[in-house]
Amino acid sequence: MPNPTVIEAKQLQKWYGDLHVLKGIDLTVAEGEVLCIIGPSGSGKSTFLRCINQLEEYQQGSLTVGGELIGFKEVGGKRVALKESEKTRQRRKLGMVFQGFNLFWHKTVMENMIEAPVLVLGEKEEDARQKAAALLDRVGLAGKEDVFPGKLSGGQQQRAAIARALAMNPEVMLFDEPTSAIDPETTGEVLEVMTELAQSGMTMIVVTHEMGFAKKVGDRAVMMEGGLVKFEAPTSEFFDRDRNPRLDAFLSSME
């Protein structure tokens, strides 16, 4: 029996003024699935993730996480935007890792880790510290608890950002080009953490240009272009270039 659907987008549309960025995205992600999204710059990949995490508001279509409509509720047959407190509650289901690390530079790694669990989830500080220490060990940063982010390499900063997202106990992890801003020499250590996370059964959506990672770890891959899903298949089939000339041309440009 297939795993239940965790995320579902139906005809999702997003405009920035007159710019039509998402033109009707239909996608589902099952529990425990790793979906990799590739495509040229400006295709709407990051915007799609930001809509899921409610960093952007979509205008048409629907988006659900765990069967719950994201960002809106139906009142008298009309769609009404949720209050910010309700949006915050919905965001707790999701962890997001950005291209930049979005760490607080004036706080230590441990302080970065425990702030949201204590202030948002209401965890006791000691419990949050214990969980944070375990997560930092998991991502290979044991002993870095009292270090400020500026003293870490780019790869270490991104691993700290992953650990911080995991500290909120998310149901789904969203990755937006997590290796694009780090030195190629440290890319492998970030991808290794993501691979372990996928193998643990975490549901993941990964926007990436790392084709090797997508082939190895992804269950399914999607190519977006011009705000639309152009090609979608299990990764075992997706990278068969004979299936799609446009995909072949894009993958060739990445080599």
Residues 9 and 23: beta-carbon distance below 8 Å: no
Residues 167 and 114: beta-carbon distance below 8 Å: yes
**Is the pLDDT confidence value at 222 over 80?**
yes
| Beta strands in the chain, from DSSP E residues, in sequence order | 5-16, 19-30, 34-38, 60-65, 68-69, 72-75, 78-81, 94-97, 172-176, 203-207, 220-225, 228-234
The tens digit of pLDDT for each residue in 79-113 reads 888 999 899 899 989 999 988 778 899 999 999 99
pLDDT reported for residue 255: 66
Q: Where does the pLDDT of residue 39 fall: very low under 50, low under 70, confident under 90, or very high at 90 and above?
A: very high
pTM, entire model: 0.93
Alpha carbon distances (Å) from 196 to 132, 193, 201, 216, 227: 17, 5, 9, 12, 31
pLDDT reported for residue 251: 78
The 8-class DSSP code of residue 98 comes to -
pLDDT reported for residue 26: 97
The tens digit of pLDDT for each residue in 114-164 reads 999 999 899 999 999 999 999 999 999 999 999 999 999 999 999 999 999
- Within a 10 A sphere around the Cβ of 26, how many other Cβ atoms? 13
Instruction: For residues 213-233, give the mean pLDDT.
Output: 94
**Is residue 170 classed as helix, strand or coil in its secondary structure?**
coil
Q: What percent of the chain is modeled with pLDDT above 70?
A: 99
- Which amino acid, one-letter code, is at 216? K
**Is the pLDDT confidence value at 242 over 80?**
no
Any residues with CB less than 8 A from the CB of 38 and at least 6 apart, and which? 45, 207, 208, 209, 211, 214, 221, 222, 223, 224, 250
* Tokens (6 digits) for 246: 């446009």
Residues 241 and 255: beta-carbon distance below 8 Å: no
* All structural domains of the chain: 5-253 (3.40.50.300)
Average pLDDT, the chain: 92
